[in-house]
Structure 1
């Protein structure tokens, strides 16, 4: 069983500063050093290297960090779920990125709660990077994200493939005609904040076309999807979003898809949990419940 010294180790891994780690843990700096020295002697290897006042994790520390995060996360999950083994009494905390949290999960969760009214569910909505940090700290059991992440560091399963499309107001000059990508760069671009999956995806698309965000004459950053859609609807700019997030507006004619020849982008929504988790089988069960509900809703 991992002890308090491993908690100290994880905090130091996060902040890479002995003084800061001591402050965060409400202990002295010598105590932090003693905890790390104990672990280095216990495991028989160096965990941190210090040069020019900078703390760097060794390869062995990276391995221990991944192991410790998984163990602490599983311990928390086990404590919360030891009395809720049955599917209908399951409880879990998970995170979803904004598009998924607002436009995919509400119907899925409603579907499940009607079928399993005793389920206890907590969903956090944030950008991809924030969710990965909370997953690593054991705050969340799993996450569903549209953004990019290192798949080699996590256990991930494809949840769905979704179209990523350019969008404008229904009365825009771009409606009902083919528009060259070079034409739209003179438009005001309204997009999500840094760290969001939607923005990262769009920046990668631009990079593939040898463009960057600086190519656009004006950029507005908004952290709220509804606000982005409202601004585009009023003709204040264009945006790029997942089709699933604007299906209703396209159907009722308030927003329109910009027809850019050759522009056909799909991106993954991924179900992600920590590698080698003791609860992987349980998480896959939840994944299957989500997938089944998603399929039933969309057929």
Structure 2
């Protein structure tokens, strides 16, 4: 169980305002001050300083925030395990859209057949949302396709996946050798902000001195199946992991764009809280999932 004063500290770090923190926690502002003063005396360090009217976290405060956040997540997992009366192991994890829809279903199918005592609950969300839920202790680990700060999380490389451009078989440049710039007069269909696929595409465009604004038209959609359907109907082009369109490519519903010097592979990573007391346990799940990855 995490000390209530640490909970106050976490909220103040996030809100950076004593009055709003007190309101959030339904306590008085002097009580917030007392909680912080207690922790500063306990650890013998200053946790916050004012820069003008802005409240800033000190270096020591940032360290305490990192460790406290991890303790909260581990504490929630410990409480769940202690209350569990069944032999069934319940594991809640997250996956980004491409992984959750097109990689994990087959893996989970095999795992459940061979390991019936494992009960998995998979949350499919974008990278940013999953990282926040991981830090809050709402999920045990996550499988991410996007970028994340590797200095702040524990992780294992799950696989490297090919990132491709896709179009309708009836698209004017289908099966042609083209430059990336040849696509700029097309409608670009892309994922919502915060998704791993979107971040990767924006980075690729940036390294080629381009952006989504370079295209004649853009359309943002948060559903991969909707994106694939629009591409198949020649309503635009998109960029996606090959694993997410494997069946469509095999059945000639969608074609991959033959873009010069576009040999892109990106990591799928198994991510968890660094130095969690459950790190060894999570690593076992990583090994289990990876053993079924084709």
* TM-score, length basis structure 1: 0.94
Query: Are 1:17 and 2:37 an aligned pair?
Result: no
Give 1:79 shift.
2.2
Map of 2:57 onto structure 1: 57
Map of 2:162 onto structure 1: 163
Which segments of 5 or more consecutive residues in structure 1 lack a partner in the other structure?
none
Query: Are 1:222 and 2:218 an aligned pair?
Result: no
Larger mean Cα displacement after TM superposition, 31-40 or 239-248: 31-40
Larger mean Cα displacement after TM superposition, 176-185 or 159-168: 176-185
Map of 2:81 onto structure 1: 81
Q: Secondary structure at the match of 2:252?
A: coil
Give 1:219 shift.
1.0
Q: 1:89, 1:116 within 8 Å by CA — same for their partners in 2?
A: no
Q: 2:2, 2:75 within 8 Å by CA — same for their partners in 1?
A: no
Map of 1:248 onto structure 2: 247
Map of 1:258 onto structure 2: 257
CA–CA separation in structure 2 for the residues paired with 1:196 and 1:183 = 25
Give 1:52 shift.
3.7
Aligned residues: 294
Map of 1:131 onto structure 2: 130
TM alignment of 1:1-299, pairs within 5 A: 2-82=2-82, 89-294=88-293, 298=294
> CA RMSD, aligned part only?
1.7
Give 1:83 shift.
7.3
Larger mean Cα displacement after TM superposition, 261-270 or 22-31: 22-31
CA–CA separation in structure 1 for the residues paired with 2:242 and 2:148 = 22
Give 1:122 shift.
1.5
Larger mean Cα displacement after TM superposition, 200-209 or 24-33: 24-33
CA–CA separation in structure 1 for the residues paired with 2:195 and 2:129 = 9
Give 1:209 shift.
1.1
Give 1:205 shift.
0.6
Q: Secondary structure at the match of 1:113?
A: helix
CA–CA separation in structure 2 for the residues paired with 1:22 and 1:274 = 28
